[in-house]
Amino acid sequence: MQKIAILTSGGDAPGMNAAVRAATRGAIARGWEVYGIRNGYAGLLADTMDELHARDVGGIIQRGGTVLGSARSPEFQSDAGVEKGLSNLRSRGVDGLIVIGGNGSQTGSYRLHQEGFPVVGVASTIDNDLYGTDVTIGVDSAVNVTLEAIDRLRTTGSSHQRAFLVETMGRNCGYIALMTGIAGGAEVIVTPEREVEPHEVVERLGAAYSRGKTHAIVVVAEGAKHGARAMMDYFKEHRGTIGFGLRLTTLGHVVRGGVPTAADRVLATRLGAAAVDQLASGTTGVMMGSLCNTIAATPLAEIAGRTKPIDCALLELARVLAQ
């Protein structure tokens, strides 16, 4: 290894910059040249990359998002796109690639690995649905942002005897909804993995009102079959059976924003540094993650095209505790 490149891909996650910083400085400490690819795989195909020096990644550890940028790239999913990306890497004399991202990003990493190019992934997605890691970069920050919103809504809900329907991010995975629902004491949690029918939500809210509760929280992942707006339409027809006044709050991309937590900064730093060590060892075609609080490498072949399910037993725990 003499020259490596780094890219961030897919949805941005708080902590990505800390991983870029650690990988860049770790590689420079080994005497390698480092190039940052702008805007993910789209930038790889456009051959948009610049050399990174130690000072270029100074002052970014606390910044959210990604200084390298990110973008979706349907073209890279084709054989021709993969070949074009490889051609650009080779023409630049790049010996290895670090890909910081989630499921789609690591599937792209695997494609490059299958073509024989040295690549190491770094687990980064706010959904925390990657195999090969217990926790991913960005999820702790996303959970804490969502939880703060729920806590604020609970305060005003209690003052006005209202229930709040909170829609949070989670297109295919309900991890954020599950964790914040438990931590925020939600009466109902709805995820793509375990649907809850609107009539059941109405029953639970009505029961909470009958027990004398002054407020209620329903957390819905955006990818749930019965989404937040569909539920609100149902609730309007059954307002009298709920008891509470009901309001909808959609958090949207605010969940991704803000500075990364200490946990995300430390995790990203460890994973970014470990990715460089992995390239140096010559064992590539893996993704760096955290298993039982230990940094571990999992073959990309075991990760590509798969998603890690949530622990649905926790949904039952949340239901019991909502009494």
Active site residues: 127
Number of structural domains (the chain) is: 2
With bands split at pLDDT 50, 70 and 90, how would you rate the model's confidence at 188? very high
The reply to whether 56 and 182 lie within a common domain is no
pTM for this prediction: 0.94
CA distances from 262 to 37, 77, 267 (A): 26, 34, 9
Here the CATH number for the domain that contains residue 83 is: 3.40.50.450
Rounded Cα gap, residues 27 and 4, in angstroms:
8
Q: What is the pLDDT of residue 151?
A: 96
The reply to whether 278 and 134 lie within a common domain is yes
With bands split at pLDDT 50, 70 and 90, how would you rate the model's confidence at 52? very high
The reply to whether 16 and 38 lie within a common domain is yes
Rounded Cα gap, residues 61 and 160, in angstroms:
41
The reply to whether 277 and 247 lie within a common domain is no
Here the CATH number for the domain that contains residue 172 is: 3.40.50.460
For residue 62, the enclosing domain spans 3-138+260-302
pLDDT digits (tens, 9 = 90+) for 272-308: 999 999 999 999 999 999 999 999 999 999 999 899 9
The reply to whether 108 and 196 lie within a common domain is no
The reply to whether 58 and 131 lie within a common domain is yes
> Cα 43–305–80 angle (5° rounding)?
40
The runs of H, that is alpha helices, within the chain are 16-29, 40-46, 79-91, 103-114, 139-160, 175-183, 198-210, 228-237, 262-281, 313-321
